[in-house]
Each structure stands twice: as structure tokens, then as C-alpha cells.
A and B are shown apart, each in its own frame.
Chain A
Amino acid sequence: MNRVSVEHLTVLGGPQEVVRDVTVAFRPGRWTAIVGPNGAGKTSLVESMVALRRVASGSVSVAGKDVHSLRERERARLVAFIPQNPVVPVGMSVVDYVGLGRTAHHGILQAMAMADTRAVEEVMKRLNLTNLAQRDVATLSGGECQRAVIARALAQATQILVLDEPTTGLDVRHQFEIMQMLRREVDECEVTVISTLHDLSLAGQYADEMVVIHDARVVLHGPTSEVLRSPELGDCYDMDLRVVEVDGRDVVVPIQRV
């Protein structure tokens, strides 16, 4: 139910190949961080994993099914997706916003059933959003808003969660808060999390595995601590990367090459 694999995937962005013949099998029930320099093709890769982009060739299979041949509703029950900059509707309450996550469960024409309401309540409680239930989402702070967005994705009750840069624009504390929230989903519910991340230290502390994308290809894939220590990682950014252990956690310090 939580298996994701990409095979020989090529995605075009205009005439260019933004993802070139990528083959990756993501470990089920684990957190894989997709890292790489800007413009490497991370966003294109995750977007095509949820069929938001047409692929030129290759395939993505989720829970044994080809995502591009699934109907929207079936796909949304298998995999939830959060883009880098989610659209925040004006005038919608937090509880209604989180409720959007139930769309694939209750159907377009039907109202939410008891099960849907309960799922929304449960997720909001888990993410500490209950006291914000009636607030307009557009008035939330950055951290609260991202929590609501994640709550919406969790309300979809999928075994796979795909996120594009979930910590963009958040301060240090809120970045950790979001990462911890996702870690808990992986540890307690065996959700497969696949997220692009810019911050290598953050990825080093929370992700189990790391996929490095450079020039539209996968150049490294393995356990986070190994990938962080491999010399090729620095080459992708044209930087020297030193890994320092602080309290048993990997922290990456970038140093400019001369």
C-alpha cells in the first residue's frame, strides 16, 4: 500500500528534459529526502509522481498501480501531495480547509459523512489545530498555515505523502516542528514520506534515505548518513561539504571551493 517506484522516467519542460531517465524505488514506510541544487529537476520529479505533469516516457507506480492511468479520485486516496507554495483561499475556515482533504473520500456531490468529520477532527487534534478551527486560513501565521496544509494532506488518509519543500519560508523552530510532525507519521503510522528539501542538515536529521538529483538525473541514492558523506554530493553544488556530528546528529557545513 505504501510502495512507490519510478522507472525510466523522463519529463519534458519545454524542449528540455527536466527529468532524464530516472529510476528510483522509494523504501516503503520510510522518509526519503530528494535533494539537489536549484533547477536540478526535484519539483518536476515529485509533480510527475502524483501525475500533475505529463511524462514523456517511463512510469511511476504507486501501490502497484500506474499513477498516470488512475482517476484523480483513486490516486488521491493513495497519495497526498503538497506543493511548495500552496494556494491559501481567502475566507475559508481552517476546519473547512482541512476538510478539503476528504474530497476523494466523500465524492464531489455528497456532503461529508460522519467518518469524514471524525477524520478531520482527529487530524486537527493531532496537529494541535483544534483551537484554530474557526479561523480564516488566510489570517494564519506561516507556521500555523503550513500545519493546516499538512493537516489537509493527512486528512486524505493516504499511506504515501509527497511534499515539495515543506519548510519553505518558516523560521527554525517551525521548520523543526513540521519535520517532527512528519517524522511521527513515518514512525507511528508507517507512512511513506517523499519530500524535496533544500536544507541538507534538516534532511540529515530527519530523513532515512536521500536521493540526490543533479542535471535531471539521480546521482546518489542511499541511507542519509552515507549520502551526506560521499564526495560527489559536494560536486553537485560545486561546494565542499563538511559533515559535523553534534549530539549524534549530522550537521552539514558548506564551504566555498577555491
Chain B
Amino acid sequence: MPQPPHRRRVVVVTSLIVVVLVTAMVTGLSLGPMNIPFGDIVGNVLSHLGLGHSVVSPTQSLVIWQIRAPRIVLGSLVGAMLATAGATYQGVFRNPLADPYLLGVAAGAGLGATIAIVDLGGTTGIPTWTPWLAFAGAMLAVATTWTIGGRGRFASSTTLILAGVAVAALCTSAQTYLQQSSTVSIARVYIWLLGSLSGASWSRVTLLLPYVIVCAGVCVASARALDVLSVGDVEARALGLPVTQVRFVVIVASSFGTAAVVSVAGLIGFVGIIVPHMVRLAVGTSYRRVLPISLIGGAAFLVVADTVARVVMSPSELPLGVVTALVGAPVFVIILNSRRRSVS
């Protein structure tokens, strides 16, 4: 007789994910073109907490704390936000295929970034205002989707999803045109689109942190409302949920958070889909569990993926978006299969 999972299972799964996250973080600090033994990293981290002495050299310390650590923290924030936003979108649209890019965030950000790189970037490098234009593009795209999709009032969520498809197609066509019309910058545009954490620094972490705290916080706080929404708009309204307002707040929070993340890390696919689905498989469908656990799970997943991206072809890097898709697609198939088995 199928029963929703018990509390003990939730605790076990959560602890397991936390262990994976911490291990991935420490491993990520250790691996790279300059190999620093795992034990030394642990010793160094502990010495920062006032326990024992560190044996790493000043150069190693610099690599650990100024290059790898901000990258790992940034990766955690990006992963946490994408997974939370993905789970939230799936809840608010009651669509298991919804991802954080559903309403045109990705295409809008891509267009913004391409404008920055092609028109303002000159012949080299990715200009510093790329994140800002990407952010503006993403928010503009979502706002357009929201407006033409009926602003969530009495319109079904399908209208909104379809509006997202239209806006995304429009942005992508404009973006492709711009990208193809300038051959000097085409490679840089591609690198940005594929997603990367290579530009990580503590200043970027502090730039992104407030967005992630507020946006992911709002999403996690809406868990109960999303559970109510699982019976559909009509019944949720009858149960006393202000559906239109909830949908607005939740979509704004997850789109804003996603836009912030995309603007610093580019387009990283699949995190927002596979992490929440893996979490559901482990702890059931209640958003009160799915959202907070996806937050930690997303962080763990992205830190692992980024470490793989850095190490596999070291010293050069694989684009992060390639790694997440490479891991994500087969995992997604496995999840689909096990769901089918549990249904039949």
C-alpha cells in the first residue's frame, strides 16, 4: 500500500544531501590545476575555525580562498536558486516539466547578454555590464510574458506558459540574429550562453547573495500555498487561497532570483528540473519538503557539476551547462522510468 514517506526518511535524505554538499565543497577546494591534498584543505578550514594548525603555503591559501572558495559558494547559490525556482514553477503551474526558464527568463537574459557582448564589448572579453543587461533582458521578458499571458487573472496557467513560449521564441530569434551578424564576438556569446562560474569572486557572491536569500526565501515560505494549489486554481480559491496574488508573488520571486543567477552564471540547464524531481522521488510531493530540500540539493548538485567541469579537461574547462545537461538528461530518464514503474 503506497504511503507518503515518513518523517525519519525525510531526515535521512536531508542529512545525506548535506553530507554530499559538504564533501563536494571540500573536494572542490582540493581539486584543480594546482592539486592541494584533501587533508590539508580540511586542516586549513579547521584552522580558520580556530582548531589546529594549517600546513598549506600562502600561494595555496590564496588559491583556496580567493579562487576556489568564492566559486564554490557562488555555485551553491546558483544551484540552490535554480532548483528552488524550478520546484516553485512546477508547483505554481502544476506542470512537472516547468523549469526556471519557462517564462522567457533564459531567452531574455541571452538577448541582453548578447547585446552587451556584441554591441558594447568591442573585440575582446565580456564587458562588466553583461550581467546587468542580462538581468534587464530577463526581467523584461518575464514582464512581457506576464502581460500578454493575462496577468494571472482568471487566465489559466496554460495561457501564461504559451505566452512564455512566444516571448522566448521572439527573444531567441533576435539574439540569434545579433549573434550571427557579428562574427568577432560569436565565440564569447556562446561561452556566456553555455554557462560558467569562471568569473566567480567574493564581490559577485555578495552581489548575488541578497537576491538569492530574498527570492529563495519567498519561494520556500510559499510551500504551503503551493500545496494548496496542487488541487487546482478553482478549488484552491474555494479553500480560501488568493490564487492570483499568490501566483504573482511566487512567479516574481522565482523569476527575479533566476534572472539574478543567470546574469552572473549564464544559462545552466536541467538543475531546475532534475533536482526537484529527485527530491520528490525521495521524500514525496509535499512542497513543504520538496522546496527546502531542493534548495540544499541544488547547491550540492551544482558544486559537484562545477567541480567536474573544472577537473575533467584540466587546465581548460568544460562549460558548466554542458556538464549539467550531460548528467541531467540520463538522470531525468531514470527518474521517468522509476515514476512509470511506481505508477503501474
B273 at the interface (CB under 8 A from A): no
Stretch at the interface among A133-141, A211-219, A245-253: A133-141
Q: In the complex, how many residue pairs between chain A and chain B have their CB atoms under 8 Å apart?
A: 86
Check B232–A87 contact: CB distance below 8 A: yes
| B 237-260 contacts with A by CB, 8 A | 237-243, 246
Whole-angstrom CA separation of A77 from B239 in the bound complex: 8
Q: Give, as a whole number of angstroms, the nearest-CB distance from A103 to chain B.
A: 5
Whole-angstrom CA separation of A67 from B118 in the bound complex: 55
Stretch at the interface among A6-14, A19-27, A68-76, A188-196: A68-76
Besides the contacts A86-B231, A134-B3, A135-B1, what 14 more A-B pairs have beta carbons closer than 8 Å?
Answer: A52-B234, A54-B154, A81-B235, A83-B238, A87-B232, A87-B235, A89-B231, A92-B230, A100-B227, A103-B241, A104-B239, A108-B242, A135-B2, A136-B2
A17 at the interface (CB under 8 A from B): no
A109 at the interface (CB under 8 A from B): yes
Q: Give, as a whole number of angstroms, the nearest-CB distance from B131 to chain A.
A: 32
Checking A88, A104, A108 against B225 with a beta-carbon cut-off of 8 angstroms, the contacting residue is: A108
| B 186-212 contacts with A by CB, 8 A | none
Check A103–B240 contact: CB distance below 8 A: yes
Q: Which residues of chain A have C-beta atoms less than 8 A from B58's C-beta?
A: none
Q: Which residues of chain B have C-beta atoms less than 8 A from A240's C-beta?
A: none
Check B221–A87 contact: CB distance below 8 A: no
Whole-angstrom CA separation of A86 from B236 in the bound complex: 11
Stretch at the interface among B24-32, B46-54, B280-288: B280-288
Number of A interface residues at 8 Å Cβ cutoff, please give it.
36
B224 at the interface (CB under 8 A from A): yes
Given contacts A91-B280, A92-B286, contact A72 B237 (CB under 8 A): yes
Check B1–A139 contact: CB distance below 8 A: yes
Checking A52, A88, A89, A135 against B238 with a beta-carbon cut-off of 8 angstroms, the contacting residue is: A52
Q: Give, as a whole number of angstroms, the nearest-CB distance from A233 to chain B.
A: 30
Whole-angstrom CA separation of A100 from B185 in the bound complex: 54
Given contacts A89-B230, A103-B239, contact A135 B3 (CB under 8 A): yes
Given contacts A77-B240, A91-B280, A103-B241, contact A108 B286 (CB under 8 A): no
